[in-house]
Amino acid sequence: MIFFTADTHFGDPRVLRLDRRPFASMAEHDAALIELWNETVAEEDEVWHLGDVMTARGGTPEALLARLRGRKHLIIGNNDPDTVTEAKGWESVQHYRELTVDGTRLVLCHYPFRTWNQIGKRAINLHGHSHGRLKPMLRQFDVGVDAREMKPVTLQTLLESRKTGPAINS
């Protein structure tokens, strides 16, 4: 399976305050996000992390990546230090990527777009950065943990969220 996520911000205490994440400490936050990731993702799965993985003071990126299941790709976010972008453990690292999943064209970037390549041909924009606070456009999804129950999500789950009614930040 292929999963998408963003804005995990491991080791960044600002998210507890600014994003009102429901954890008493960063240790609890990080442990919960790792557990939710590993309950969702299998070793053979692919995960596209759309940026803002962890802070420079959050520990060793290689150690974190080794604890997270799946083959991991990074779309660089505005808070990803060189230690994260240069870490061993990523299958690929880039600022932007287009790919097709289950016949659907996806445009991946940390930032949400107002328009994107092949928007008129039903391409979908997946992004992070807005922490569930930005009203999405048609065929646009915030895949950040704040908008997705703190765990990675599949394209199918995103598409079904639109069919079943207005989910928060879908």
DSSP for 122-141, please give it. T-EEEE-SSTT-SPPPTTEE
Residue 153: inside a domain, yes or no? yes
CA 82, CA 144: separation in Å to the nearest integer? 21
Residue 25: inside a domain, yes or no? yes
Question: φ and ψ at 45, to 5 degrees?
Answer: -75, 165
CA 168, CA 89: separation in Å to the nearest integer? 32
Residue 170: inside a domain, yes or no? no
Task: Please give the share of the chain, as a percent, with pLDDT higher than 90.
Answer: 88
Which range marks the domain in which residue 145 is found? Answer: 2-163
Instruction: State both tokens at 109.
Output: 């970037």
Other CB atoms within a 10 A radius of the CB of residue 136 amount to 18
Q: How far is CA 147 from each of CA 7, 79, 144, rounded to the nearest angstrom?
A: 10, 18, 6
Residue 123: inside a domain, yes or no? yes
CATH of the domain at 154: 3.60.21.10
Q: What is the pLDDT of residue 11?
A: 95
Residue 169, pLDDT > 60, answer no
Residue 166, pLDDT > 70, answer no
Q: Which residues of 15-54 are buried (b: 16+ CB within 10 A; e: fewer)?
A: bbeebebeeeebeebbeebbebbeebbeeebebbbbbbbb
Residue 147: inside a domain, yes or no? yes
Q: How far is CA 50 from each of CA 21, 24, 58, rounded to the nearest angstrom?
A: 19, 25, 18
Q: State the pTM of this model.
A: 0.94
Residue 168: inside a domain, yes or no? no
Number of domains in the chain: 1
Segment 33-61 shows an average pLDDT of: 96
Average pLDDT, rounded, for the chain: 94
Residue 169: inside a domain, yes or no? no
Task: Check: CB of residue 74 under 8 Å from CB of residue 6.
Answer: no
Q: What share of the chain is helix, strand, coil (3-state, %, to 5)?
A: 25, 25, 50
